[in-house]
Amino acid sequence: MVACQVAICYNGLSYRVIDTLVTTLTTDDDMSARAPTMRDVAAIAGVSIKTVSRVINDEPGVSSELAERVQAAVKLLGYRHNSAASNLRRADGRTATIGLLLEDAANPLFSALHRAIEDVAWEHDTLVFAGSSDADPEREKKIVLALSSRRIDGIIVVPAIHDHSGLVYMQRLGRPIVFVDRLAALPDADSVTVDNRVGGSTAVAHLVAHGHRRIAFLGDLHSIWTAAERHLGYIEGLASAGIQLDPHLVYQDIRGSVAAEFATLDLLGSANPPTALFTAQNLITIGAIRALQRLELQHKVALVGFDDLELMDLLDPGVTVIAQNAAKLGRTAAELLFARLGGDRAPPQHVVVPTRLIARGSGEIRLSS
């Protein structure tokens, strides 16, 4: 039994009272205190560590009297549970954390998706690690490695084009994976997307219904699944309307609004320009609108964009869009993940979240004959 020379001494452990908290002395003179542990709580409450654990974890088999003493000690010490220690020893291996791998956390679609996932995780007392891959396979690989070393319970991924060895590893350890905004790239994984192809053909059908037949397509990298699907939707939409595809009206692999602006200027400056545009990604829509405004054609050339953005209703004309429901995408992905974590053994499923055409003016400009 060590000799005690400070304010409080319990069973050989020394404590100093600071404000209303009792702080465990460290062995050196460093003023930062060691975090109180169950051992400290046990010492002050006069019970065993196991009894403290039972109280902290709300397990049965503790008398009321002892439970009250433990809770008083917890409050006195300001005890905080240590997740690392708990995770290391618990039988189910759960960490109450999930990973979320986005392209870019600042992107409006992904930040809305992130928030929806956080809200579902919150209901399951789970924290979210979020990371941005920038569609860079090396960065994504490293993020997945960092997440797997922390033994997260599961992961929701907007995958970049890359190998999935890191995700395979998690899956092998029984960690569920949900792909979002992309198809599942692994056999035993759920996925959630909007119906990009239907959205694409809806955009084309809408423009056709307003008299247009020379409809241009401006899309993102064709290697991105969503871009490829929207392109297919464009093709199917034309075919449904009996319109022959004009390759001069198809611009793919456009990255960013500046490239989109130039692509639009190029299109509209050609010999037989389109009378309508389908801009299959937000930044492309922005660039196209800049080009239309520059040419003062925003009231003459029709435009339907893919996905919505704040203020699009305030533009002149308002922008007609195929809107994605980011919150529902995120919520559905999270619910699928937590269903798996809850024991769901059903075959993997692919959930399609519908898009919605929002008519605001730009897509309702009729072809003038």
Partner DNA sequence: TGATATTTTGACAACGTTGTCAGGAGTTGA
Partner DNA sequence: TCAACTCCTGACAACGTTGTCAAAATATCA
Residue 88 as a binder of DNA (CB under 7 A): the answer is: yes
User: Which residue from 138, 137, 136, 146 is spatially nearest to 100, judged by alpha carbons?
Assistant: 146
115 binds, among DNA, a copy of itself, none (CB under 5 to 8 A by kind): a copy of itself
The residues, ordered by sequence, that sit 6+ positions from 344 with a Cβ below 8 Å of its Cβ are none
- CB 63 to a copy of itself: min, Å: 26
Residues 223 and 219: their CA atoms lie apart, in Å, by 11
Candidate segments 1-9, 33-41, 119-127, 199-207, binder of DNA by CB under 7 A:
33-41
Q: Kindly tell me which of 38 and 301 has the beta carbon lying closer to DNA.
A: 38
By CB under 8 A, tell whether 33 contacts a copy of itself: yes
- 150 lies in the site for DNA, by CB under 7 A: no
User: Reduced to 3 states, what is the DSSP secondary structure of residue 131?
Assistant: strand
Does residue 65 touch DNA according to CB under 7 A? yes
User: 20: how many CB neighbours lie within 10 A of its CB?
Assistant: 8
Residues in contact with DNA, counted by CB under 7 A, come to a total of 31
Among the residue ranges 41-49, 207-215, 290-298, 316-324, the one whose residues contact DNA (CB under 7 A): 41-49
Q: Is residue 249 close enough to count as binding DNA by CB under 7 A?
A: no
In terms of DSSP H, where are the helices of the chain?
38-45, 49-56, 64-77, 83-89, 108-123, 137-149, 165-172, 196-209, 225-240, 257-268, 282-294, 326-341
Give residue 362's identity as a one-letter amino acid code.
Answer: S
Q: Is 128 in the site for a copy of itself (CB under 8 A)?
A: yes
User: Smallest gap, in angstroms, from Cβ of residue 213 to a copy of itself?
Assistant: 28
What minimum distance in Å lies between the beta carbon of 278 and a copy of itself?
19
Mark the segment that binds a copy of itself (CB under 8 A) among 62-70, 100-108, 183-191, 211-219.
100-108
* 110: exposed, middle or buried (Cβ count in 10 Å: 0-12, 13-18, 19+): buried
Residue 21 and residue 12 in contact, taking contact as beta carbons nearer than 8 Å:
no
The pairing of strands 276-279 and 302-306 is parallel
Name which of 173 and 239 has its Cβ closer to DNA. 173
Torsion 32-37-42-48 (CA) sign: negative
Peptide bond into 317 cis (omega under 30): yes
- Residue 254 contact, options a copy of itself, DNA, none, Cβ 5-8 Å cut-off depending on partner type: none
Q: How far apart, in Å, are the Cα atoms of 93 and each of 32, 35, 96, 142?
A: 31, 24, 10, 22
Distance of CA 138 to the CA centre of its chain: 19
Using CB under 7 A, pick the residue from 15, 44, 51, 191 that binds DNA: 51
Q: Which stretch binds DNA (CB under 7 A): 37-45, 117-125, 301-309, 333-341?
A: 37-45
Binding of residue 111 to a copy of itself (CB under 8 A): yes
> Looking at this protein, which amino acid is placed at residue 364?
E
Interface residues with DNA (CB under 7 A)?
34-35, 37-39, 46-51, 53-54, 56-57, 60-63, 65-66, 79, 81-82, 85-86, 88-92
Sites of contact with a copy of itself (CB under 8 A) = 18, 21, 23, 32-33, 35, 78, 80-85, 87-88, 95, 97, 104-108, 111-112, 114-115, 118-119, 122, 125, 127-132, 139, 145-151, 169, 172-174, 286, 289-290, 293, 309-312, 314-316
